[in-house]
Amino acid sequence: MDNNNELKDESVEPLNQSKHITGNVIVAGKGEGEVIATDVPLSFWGGYNSETGDIIDHHHPLYGENLTGKVFVLPGGRGSCTGSMVLLQAIYSNNSPGAIILKQIDEIISLGAIVADEIFKMKLPIIALNEPDFALAQKASYIKVNEYGKVFINH
């Protein structure tokens, strides 16, 4: 018997399969990576180094963490509209997170990614989740997102 034709019980989820949820797509795109999560908002202006990908806000609990290529899970941004430009510069220099997951839509964070997509055709997916799904994402070790807002969570 060909192993590809064996019947499978699709109601049983294998232990190694990720849980998936669907969020609100703010900026469409594909991204994945190790999760860096916080429950404290971050201002990209003065809080993030676009040349290195490091969080440089001395008062933020993630101070010193590098976000390059990782999935950054945070409730939202804090502060200045200049944060959009800092994120745009990080995307353009390939020092941005691989994706951003938010608890609420954040216009400042989103604008940097929207401009990068429109002008440079460089994607940084941004997804907003409801509160229970955001709590799941904060506990994840690895997340993958697709352009349709599906978020695949591995713990």
Q: Which residues are catalytic?
A: 80
Cα–Cα separations (whole angstroms), residue 36 to 62, 63, 70, 153: 9, 12, 7, 13
Distance (Å, rounded) from C-alpha 121 to C-alpha 148? 18
Label each residue of 10-75 as H, E or C.
CCCCCCCCCEEEECEEEECCCEEEEEEECCCCECCCCCEECCCCEECCCCCCCCCCECCCCEEEEC
